[in-house]
Amino acid sequence: MQAVYNIAEICACHGITDVVLSPGSRCAPLTIAFARHPEIRVRTVPDERAAAFIGLGLAQSQRRAVALVCTSGTAGLNYAPAVAEASFQQIPLVIFTADRPPEWIDQLDGQTIRQTDLYGAHAKGSFTFPADTSHADAKWHSERIVNEAINTAQQFPAGPVQVNIPLREPFYPKAGQELRFEEVKIIREQAGTPTLPPSELTDLAQTLRRTARVLVVAGQHVFDEQLVRSLRAFAAAYQVPVVGDVIANLHQPLGGKPEVSGATSLGHQDVFLAVPDAELKADLRPEVLITFGQSLISKALKLYLREFAPRQHWHVQATGPVADTFKSLTRIIRMEPTAFFDQLLPLDKQPFITSELTAAKANSLTSVADATRVAPPPVPLGIPMQANTSEGEDAGAADASYASRWQRAEQWANGFLAGFFAAPNQPFNEFTVFYRTLQLLPEGTALHLANSMAVRYANILGLANRTAEVFANRGTSGIDGCTSTAVGAALAQPTRPVVLLTGDVAFFYDRNALWHNYPLPNLRIVLFNNHAGGIFRLIDGPRQQPELEELFETHQALSAENTSRDFGLRYFPVSTFAELESALPVFFAPEGGAALLEITTDSATNAAFFEHYRTSVRTSFS
């Protein structure tokens, strides 16, 4: 078993210090090795589906790889939803699945399935550990496999990998036997930084200077202060509006300071793009669309950009496959987004290069800036250009009035939402409760948004508290691990407030996220319980069907009170606005430990109020 024990040492040398495992006998050698390694923290979660999402939450929060360990048979299959989510969110997970030795596969032996390449296309790599490592070459092979698996998981774009480990009995060391870790072979992979030749950067810069209507759209992305800083400088220099869903994390102030006027991102596209105004939508149409990041929540934005397609669509991504989400992709730019926005800034707009970029990067910037010095400088803020200047005409800069049109639409949406939710005599409904809850989030919250309506409500409303960092399982958009992912985040950062906003179906589906023995004093769960899958009353299609209540809404009579008692959560039941106002400050207070706020509403009332909102949006725009 020495080669198996050495897996823990290889992981530790690569910086993997968190392991989530589920109990089993076949995986005992791995369990014992990880548990006895002095640099590794092991957590045990019995339900493998929950365990995998908790591991995903740990990796997502810490921004580094986490290992999962399970026994043979169907245990590994239960990892599959989290593996798929990690694949599309580009989160590194190293999955060690214990297995029967190859001679016993398909021989009707207990707890045995076909585990090779268990996750198919959703794993970045699938590796098989040698069943016999007694020969020196086999031991060398085993160490090389584990190194390769970890490097594969962590190299961009990151993702999950499987290492299948066939094990023969005996699994357990003898009583009193000391387990030791040998010096192991470590293979490190140094990531490169893709760059473009100066001539190509010059071509991009000249296109931007000649194009009146340039739009940047950000997909899901972790909060990256340097990226946000670079993006804002780029937007100000070229008069470019920047649109991002709430999960793009472009809303936070830099260094805790208020944002600079005119350099912020727009986030209420779900509101103003719902307005049936053809002139507005034509005015907002881009000529060049620049995108980065992963998925978008906003269906309105996706449909808009497919209908009002740009002439050019550039997607900025260092490596990996690229989706043609808007059916208009014309150019894939193989750079990190931060480097892209930095290197296209004019020299006089680069005040932070020397202090925040490497010398090599600064040299690259200088060469590009020198190559484009003959181009006219951007027009200062507030100086309008001709609105219909087309690509190929030397406009000298992007159209300032184009950016102002997006900004005016955003300002209208902000004012509309404030007025709409301030209206008196509203029925108690989850949309208004959601609005009021967001306004009271603690500073620095890690905000987890469950699928389905929770993430949509948040995207419509935006964040009143701009210091929250937003997470959501929008890789696959499933409900199966939303609570578990938030639990992983709470374990990863025990001093940071972690708030989960979730619906009843997602919450009760994933109750085993709480089935473990680890305290979660920083976790707050806000449960919107309408006793049904309320989203089906809000979207066209199912709400018009006679089978809505029986076959789509997932009616249930459950309350979270017993769940809260079972897992030691403070419980706050709310069914009126007065109760909400009283409960929220106590619920969010840092003292007291983990808590659950259950907001009980009526599904039909929620649907009627949301329809009132949609009607108001369509008829209020001016």
Check which CATH number belongs to the domain holding 558 and give it: 3.40.50.970
305 within some domain: yes
Report pLDDT for 355.
Answer: 36
Cα distances (Å, whole numbers) of residue 49 to 70, 112, 488:
11, 18, 13
- Domain for residue 186, yes or no? no
Task: Please name the amino acid found at residue 567.
Answer: F
Kindly give, in sequence order, each residue whose CB lies less than 8 Å from that of residue 605, ignoring residues fewer than 6 positions away: 427, 428, 429
Identify whether residues 95 and 20 lie together within a single domain: yes
User: In angstroms, rounded to a whole number, what is the distance separating the alpha carbons of residues 347 and 369?
Assistant: 6
Contact 467, 492 (CB under 8 A): no
Closest Cα to residue 450, out of 356, 360, 529? 529
CB 587 within 8 A of CB 579: no
> Of 379, 408, 437, which residue is a domain's last?
408
Indicate if 212 and 140 belong to the same structural domain. no
DSSP 48-78: HHHHHHHHHHHHHHHTS-EEEEE-SGGGGGG
Examine the domain organization and report whether 455 and 390 are in the same domain: no
Range(s) of the domain holding residue 67: 2-166
The residue count of the chain comes to 622
Residue 278: strand, helix, or coil: helix
Q: Which residues pair with 215 in a beta bridge?
A: 289
d(C-alpha 151, C-alpha 1), whole Å: 23
Domain boundary residue among 378, 408, 438?
A: 408
Question: Is residue 541 domain-resident?
Answer: yes
CATH of residue 357's domain is 3.40.50.1220
The pLDDT, as a whole number, for residue 331 is: 97
Residue 125 lies in a domain: yes
Structural domain contains residue 586: yes
Give the three-state DSSP class for 281: helix
Q: Are 337 and 227 in contact (CB under 8 A)?
A: yes
Query: b vs e for 168-180, b when ≥16 Cβ sit within 10 Å of the residue's Cβ?
Result: eeebebeeeeeee
For tokens 């989400």, the residue is 325
Q: How far apart, in Å, are the Cα atoms of 268 and each of 414, 429, 472, 518?
A: 7, 21, 18, 38
The CA distance from 319 to 615, in Å, is 43
403 in the same domain as 428: no
Could you tell me if 294 and 376 lie in one domain? Answer: yes
CA atoms within 13 A on the CB side of 50: 20
Question: How many angstroms separate the CA atoms of 343 and 303, rounded?
Answer: 31
Q: Is residue 497 part of a domain?
A: yes
Distance from C-alpha of 112 to C-alpha of 509, rounded to nearest angstrom: 27
What angle do helix axes 577-588 and 430-439 make, rounded to 10 degrees? 30
Total domains, the chain: 3
CA 405 to chain centroid: 29
Which DSSP letter does residue 179 get?
Answer: P
177 in any annotated domain:
no
23 CB-near residues (< 8 Å, 6+ apart): 31, 44, 46, 71
Q: Residues with Cβ < 8 Å from 453, sequence gap 6 or more?
A: 430, 503, 528, 534, 535, 538
Residue 521 and residue 445 share a domain: yes
The answer on 53 and 115 residing in a single domain is: yes
Is 590 in the same domain as 523?
A: yes
277, 408, 412, 416 from 622: Cα distances, Å: 10, 11, 8, 11
Query: How far apart are the C-alpha atoms of 416 and 314, rounded to whole Å?
Result: 33
Phi, psi of 116 (to 5 degrees): -65, 130
> Both 401 and 479 in a single domain?
no
Query: Looking at the structure, do residues 430 and 527 belong to the same domain, yes or no?
Result: yes
- Is the C-alpha dihedral spanning 293, 322, 195, 151 positive or negative? positive
Q: What are phi and psi of 598, to 5 degrees?
A: -100, 115
* 192 in any annotated domain: no
| 11, amino acid identity | C
Q: What is the pLDDT of residue 399?
A: 63
> Are 75 and 466 within 8 A, CB to CB?
no
> What contacts 376, CB < 8 A, 6 or more positions away?
209, 394, 396, 397
What pTM did the predictor assign?
Answer: 0.88
**Block means of pLDDT (10 residues each) for the chain, length 622 residues?**
94 97 94 96 97 98 97 96 97 96 84 91 95 88 95 95 93 81 89 85 93 96 94 93 95 61 75 94 96 96 97 96 95 95 74 37 34 31 33 49 94 95 96 96 96 94 85 94 98 97 96 97 97 67 68 78 97 98 96 96 94 94 73
Task: Indicate whether 428 and 557 sit together in one domain.
Answer: yes
Residue with tokens 């992981």: 11
Report d(CA 332, CA 315) in Å as an integer.
Answer: 5
Domain boundary among 142, 166, 190: 166
Q: Do 389 and 341 fall into the same domain?
A: yes
